[in-house]
Amino acid sequence: MIQQKICYRLTKAVFTLVATALCSVSLLARAESESDRITASGQVFQELISGHPGIPHNLLNKADCIIILPSVKKAAIGIGGQYGKGVMSCRSGENFTGAWSAPIMMQSSGGSIGLQLGGEATDFVILVMNPEGARSVMKGRAKLGADASVAAGPVGRDAEASTTATMQAQMLSYSRAKGVFGGVSLEGTSLGPDDGDNEKVYGKKVSGPEIFSGSVKAPASAATLLSELRRASPKKVA
């Protein structure tokens, strides 16, 4: 009987910790405005495209879309929850070969179990390498690794000599935490448009595909992001 009570209390404590972790991370992610996140995404891209190591230019030139999640927060109470918001921009046109589109506001969620010794903010960048991957994420919530294949993106010389399996992935993912940049696996992460934030940014309800089609004008806060994308990769390389 005593053991049952102890087990019950431990189980209740674990669920409480999980709920607290996810709620606290969600609140942190929501603390910034939509414009702040768009601006931060532009700054992250600017730093990573010019840094060393950074986003490989040859892969960016082949990408159909780029997703940037700046300062994704991870709870730091033993059981980690992860929740992030950011933007997605794609090359316009039916075949994803045109100019970079206005930003689609995105959100990601995932969880991890493990010891964590403090809160951590990580920048994530995902290169979407083919139209199927782009459409699966643009239309709704997609679970990476299940609805869309994802692999840790190669960096430096590895970008030139990456495996066939890696290069066949629909998405290549990267992270930067505490100044360290490299490929990272994001399997199990759910990713899709944030309808609420898109409505706030564009002043009306608008879907990811509608933003991609050019039905709305990019906000002023996207100036840095779009100018840097156009400068770094003005044209898609087959």
Per-residue pLDDT of the chain (238 residues; tens, 9 = 90+): 555 444 444 344 433 333 433 343 333 444 478 999 999 999 999 999 988 888 999 999 999 999 999 988 664 444 445 578 999 999 999 999 999 999 999 998 875 433 333 456 789 999 999 999 999 999 888 888 888 999 999 887 656 655 555 668 999 999 998 878 898 888 888 899 999 999 999 999 999 999 999 999 999 999 999 999 999 999 999 7
Closest alpha carbon to 119 in 190, 178, 68, 173: 178
Residue 159 is predicted with a pLDDT of: 66
Written as six digits, the tokens of 180 are 């360290």
Distance (Å, whole) CA 127 – CA 111: 22
Which residues have C-beta within 8 Å of that of residue 192, sequence separation ≥ 6?
106, 107, 137, 139, 140, 141, 142, 208
Written as six digits, the tokens of 33 are 């405005």
Distances in Å between the Cα of 28 and the Cα atoms of 1, 36, 69, 75, 85 are 41, 13, 14, 10, 10
Residue 162 is predicted with a pLDDT of: 58
Residue 29 is predicted with a pLDDT of: 41
Distance (Å, whole) CA 190 – CA 137: 9
Q: Are 116 and 109 in contact (CB under 8 A)?
A: no
Written as six digits, the tokens of 158 are 């590895």
Q: C-alpha dihedral over 219, 39, 229, 157, to 10 degrees?
A: -160
Residue 188 is predicted with a pLDDT of: 87
Which residues have C-beta within 8 Å of that of residue 232, sequence separation ≥ 6?
45, 49, 57, 60
Residue 38 is predicted with a pLDDT of: 97
Give SS3 for 145: coil
